[in-house]
Structure 1
Amino acid sequence: MPDDPKWEAPPGSWASSAARRRNMQAIRSRDTKPEQLIRRLVHAQGLRYRVAARPLPDLRRTADMVFRSAKVAVFIDGCYWHGCPQHYVAPKTNPGYWSDKVLRNMERDRDTEQKLTEAGWLVLRFWEHEPSDACARKIADTVLARRLGLRDS
């Protein structure tokens, strides 16, 4: 048990301490506040979507919002985990590991975008700090335009 002073990280775990492990386990990979707010605003405009779904069944990656009929995948990226050019600050603890982790995330984001684009999908990416109403408006406008056959929107 992590609260036990004799607790050790499980074999193969990179957690440096019980406190760090608890902290990392508490970080949400979906349903963050920015995601929830944007989803609420898009839903209020009458649009329906899949949450945390795979746009392509063979691709082991999920988008935050998926509009299958319009082939639009939406990602709301956290500034730290995806390397926001405005807000990312390299960590002071174990910087090599965490900087590499963020770099791998950014590379995976580019790869995901390329694979979806090649499959005919439009990828919309937003940073968590962007105004939610502007993001929701852009999503709704794009999805509606693609549904009307204006695929280059």
Structure 2
Amino acid sequence: MHSLYTSSLTGKKVSKTKSFIIHNLVIVAVIGGLLAITIVGFINAKALKLEKHYIRLLIVISIILNTATIICYACLPLSAEMDVLINRLLAGVSYFIFFIILKRPYKEHLVFVGGTQSLYWSGIIYCLLSIFIDGFLREGVLAYEGRN
């Protein structure tokens, strides 16, 4: 006889979701730039087990924004400070998109699981990696065009 108080998932393995605090992703966007927020945002989206159509949408948006950064480096003869500013503005746009898409699964995660992971070390690592790759990419594009 089944009771209302017996668990219905007995014998089945249920995988829990994980998440960073999505409000802290703005720090990664400001410090690390577009590449860092893209990487950390996708890690968080996978950990929250986001539906595939949202993942595909995020992939397309990230490709468009990263391509826009490269086009800005190649086509606009701007100073290094302006290039960094454009990168951070596009990172802010990317953060806003990730925040909008991840907000509902994050709230569900907080209700059912309740815990979050620390973004401290992984955020620092991805920010440093992003700054290095972005600088290397910018210098490579400028050297290829002979502007540097």
Q: Please state which structure has a larger fraction of its residues in strand.
A: 1
Q: With CA pairs under 8 Å and 6+ residues apart, which has the higher RCO, 1 or 2?
A: 2
Using structure 1 for the length normalisation, give the TM-score: 0.30
Using structure 2 for the length normalisation, give the TM-score: 0.31
Whichever of the two has the greater Rg, that structure is: 2
